[in-house]
Structure 1
């Protein structure tokens, strides 16, 4: 059985959860890359041991990662963010590939906020990006993550632009309206994907 892998990505605070839920309800098996990242960064993992050499202040003696401390470092320093990415993404992509190979469904959604940064777009048949207006995203992410607007803006500054997502995606969903409106937009995209690939 040939599998169709849809990569889901987009801007922070754009509301990818609603889109992911729609894919799940329409028969897609979800691989959540945030959860994959947590798997590869479990205390004592090979990934954490490598990261500890670069970010020693973010780990204890058992190689347990302080995620908040690491985030504060990398979101304000692009060079350090690149060092993090170069170290962690090979571990993540290896596990993603393993999960894709074991999933029984012919349709898979790779929910990956950093899809392009990780190079995981190469694992995908089609890419769907979610975008939203700046002020809407700012309000959503400060409420969701309980962070200041200043920290949220730093996150935004380290991410791709709307133009980038439009250029590199098969579909772009604008999520400035209600949850129901975004859900309906997503269902239209899913219908096209299923028709186009017809099971891969």
Structure 2
């Protein structure tokens, strides 16, 4: 069995945090240390392909009413347009999640089974919304000051500050939501270099194995 500390017990971790805080960087550091990494965003794309028809059935009428093109010429959902349709509506987001989250959870379970002999990390913003969170040994919550996140997101995505702030607002109380899921959550602040972040992750892993 391939594990971070060489012991015959693998770790299952979730790496999460608000937008532009550095969770992707943290996941890459863990992957470099030997963890198998699954990106929930990529799995979400795969899941949407699986449930494409169900999502179209759910939202087609509303999209027509709002004059939003929900699908392309091949009948595949245009993700940006779907986001435009449901963003800002708690009810619509929940309706979408009821369709897609079971498939995302299935794909994560499948990934875990395929990598049963090694430590794994799930890089996900909202893993607390799916049952797999209960199988995680710990949650590494990567955070950084809002102003740093704002300019990182601006540089990375090129979006207007107003849109970025709306995305930030949609992730309000993310830490508390993980706490409410009874996850063993530990915060790491990403305020410096990648080397500094790696050192903090090493401390996180050491404490995790000592507990």
Rounded Cα–Cα distance in structure 2 between residues aligned with 1:116 and 1:160: 14
Structure 2: tracts of 5 or more residues without a match: 2-8, 61-68
Determine which of 40, 45, 58 is the counterpart of 2:47.
Answer: 40
Specify which structure has the bigger relative contact order, considering alpha-carbon pairs within 8 angstroms and separated by 6 or more residues: 1
Determine which of 53, 70, 75 is the counterpart of 1:49.
Answer: 53
Equivalent in the alignment of 1:135: 147
State TM-score, norm by structure 1. Answer: 0.85
Contact persistence 1:142–1:149 (CA under 8 A): yes
State TM-score, norm by structure 2. Answer: 0.81
Equivalent in the alignment of 2:135: 123
Equivalent in the alignment of 2:167: 155
Rounded Cα–Cα distance in structure 1 between residues aligned with 2:14 and 2:45: 19
Equivalent in the alignment of 2:4: none
**In the alignment, structure 1 residue 111 sits paired with structure 2 residue 123:** yes
Change (3 A) 1:165 1:78: closer
Change (3 A) 1:79 1:186: same
Rounded Cα–Cα distance in structure 2 between residues aligned with 1:163 and 1:32: 19
Contact persistence 1:74–1:80 (CA under 8 A): yes
**In the alignment, structure 1 residue 19 sits paired with structure 2 residue 31:** no
Which of the two has higher C-alpha Rg?
2
**In the alignment, structure 1 residue 63 sits paired with structure 2 residue 75:** yes
Contact persistence 1:40–1:92 (CA under 8 A): yes
Q: CA deviation at 1:7?
A: 0.9
How many residue pairs match? The answer is: 193
Aligned with 2:147: secondary structure? helix
Aligned with 2:88: secondary structure? coil
Q: CA deviation at 1:24?
A: 0.9
1:48-86 CA distance string (max 9 Å, x none):
111112232422353312121222233322222222222
CA RMSD of superposed structures (Å) = 2.2
Structure 1: tracts of 5 or more residues without a match: none
Aligned with 1:41: secondary structure? helix
Q: CA deviation at 1:16?
A: 0.8
Rounded Cα–Cα distance in structure 1 between residues aligned with 2:86 and 2:161: 17
Q: CA deviation at 1:154?
A: 1.6
1:66-105 aligned within 5 A: 66-105=78-117
Rounded Cα–Cα distance in structure 1 between residues aligned with 2:19 and 2:207: 25
Aligned with 1:8: secondary structure? strand
Contact persistence 2:71–2:78 (CA under 8 A): yes
